[in-house]
Amino acid sequence: MKDIILTGDRPTGNLHLGHYVGSVLNRVNIQNQGSYDKFYIMIADTQALTDNADRVDKVKNNIIQVAIDYISAGIDPNKVNIFIQSMVSELHEFTTYFLNLVTLSRVQRNPTIKEEIKTRGFEKSLPMGFLAYPISQAADILAFGTTIVPVGDDQLPMIEQAREIVSSFNYTYSPTEEVFQMPKPFLATDKVCRRLPGLDGKLKMSKSYGNAIYLCDSPDVVRQKVMSAYTDPNHIRVSDPGQVEGNIVFTYLDAFCKDEHFARYLPEYENLDSLKSHYKKGGLGDVKIKKFLIEILEELLAPIRARRASCLENIDGIYNMLFENSYKASLQAKERLERMKDAMGINYKKLLK
Ligand code: ATP
Ligand code: MG
């Protein structure tokens, strides 16, 4: 049996480098290999509203932005169903029934939720919808019979939660035929790419933390962000020995640099190891490594920017694609919703003789 792939992003801002290496690149590779049954990418507007209830315009305006980012980064809407979460109302029905299968204490133990509550300042007034989003996310995954979810590692607890809901559903309702598949995460091969840190060098790169380099940033903005990035605070003079661990410029080089970049932009070094050992010994300045990083990022971002420019000419076409795909996704989800209701014994029309 071929895989069913589903993944998504919250329309809370444009996509950033963390999305790119953490998930988008894997999606493009899977898409290009083509060995899947169905492939969905969901723009999670309902989820975005759980911590943006009073910022509807922000969420609404970012739907098209995220869709443009996907296409610019290489997602082909002819091969992948890109849809809008709120336009697939069946998902909310799944969520309602799944809420009964999860305890409050289980959600409160979710490490990603715990961290997000803290960083969003929700300790005192936590929206119920936000606390429950792992369950709504399980609905998004399970509604389509998803087997593979390409994600960054902050999402592992969400997939674990979805798996527990499958077990709990099977235990509670003992379906005679399988209704839900057990989903599996699909992570980036490089550990650094699974949770790319932000420019502050502390939290993960995130739209909500103001620490991101966006795929749509102009060359000037990329340059300025990299130039002001956190490095080693004790590396004051060029001659000082520098630290590579926790130095965000080296972290980004770990994520983005390939040996071939040295031949193009920094031929006096053979590879990243030789650059790192020079930095550790002393005698290598931050500006030189930052300029090298800028060259590498520009090589990645320039074609993405060019594709973005042509998407901007076709906004209505992209909206129509999203609406059509949401309708198709809704038909797919409805099918499994009926199977779920059958298994639960709540398809009341079946009571008619
Ligand atoms: P928000 O701040 O609104 O939560 P975000 O930047 O965390 O936004 P999401 O839309 O929540 O982005 O995440 C979408 C996908 O991108 C998820 O699979 C997530 O794991 C992945 N992702 C997000 N940030 C990173 C990161 N810094 N490194 C690797 N993967 C990431
Ligand atoms: Mg997030």
| Candidate from 7, 16, 118, 154 with most ligand 1 atoms within 8 A of CB, to mutate | 154
Q: Is the pLDDT score of 351 beyond 80?
A: yes
Residues 14-29: pLDDT tens digits?
A: 999 999 999 999 999 9
Closest ligand, as measured to the CA of 190: 1
Residues 244-257: pLDDT tens digits?
A: 999 999 999 999 99
Ligand 1 binding pocket (C-beta < 6 A) is: 9-10, 12, 18-19, 22-23, 151-152, 154-155, 194-196, 204-208
pLDDT value of residue 90: 98
Residues 169-192: pLDDT tens digits?
A: 999 999 999 999 999 999 999 999
| Candidate from 17, 20, 23, 196 with most ligand 1 atoms within 8 A of CB, to mutate | 23
User: 3-state SS string over the chain?
Assistant: CCEEEEEEECCCCCCEHHHHHHHHHHHHHHHHHCCEEEEEEEECHHHHHCCCCCCHHHHHHHHHHHHHHHHHHCCCCCCCEEEEHHHCCHHHHHHHHHHHHCCHHHHHCCHHHHHHHHHCCCCCCCCHHHHCHHHHHHHHHHCCCCCEEECCHHHHHHHHHHHHHHHHHHHHHCCCCCCCCCCEEECCCCHHHHCCECCCCCCECCHHHCCCCECCCCHHHHHHHHHCCCCCCCCCCCCCCCCCCCCHHHHHHHHHCCHHHHHHHCCCCCCHHHHHHHHHHCCCCHHHHHHHHHHHHHHHHHHHHHHHHHHHHHHHHHHHHHHHHHHHHHHHHHHHHHHHHHHHCCCHHHHCC
* CATH fourth-level superfamily of 3-196+314-351: HUPs (3.40.50.620)
Q: Is the pLDDT score of 1 beyond 80?
A: no
Q: Is the pLDDT score of 326 beyond 90?
A: yes
Q: How confident is the model at residue 120 (pLDDT cuts 50, 70, 90)?
A: very high
Where along the chain do its domains lie? Answer: 3-196+314-351, 219-309
Which atom of ligand 1 is least distant from the CA of 208? Answer: 2
Q: How confident is the model at residue 230 (pLDDT cuts 50, 70, 90)?
A: confident
Query: 131 is written with which tokens?
Result: 């606390």
Asked whether the whole model's pTM tops 0.85, one would answer yes
Fold classification of 219-309 is Tyrosyl-Transfer RNA Synthetase (1.10.240)
Question: 210 C-alpha vs ligand 2 centroid, how far in Å?
Answer: 12
Closest ligand, as measured to the CA of 210: 1
Which atom of ligand 1 is least distant from the CA of 209? Answer: 2
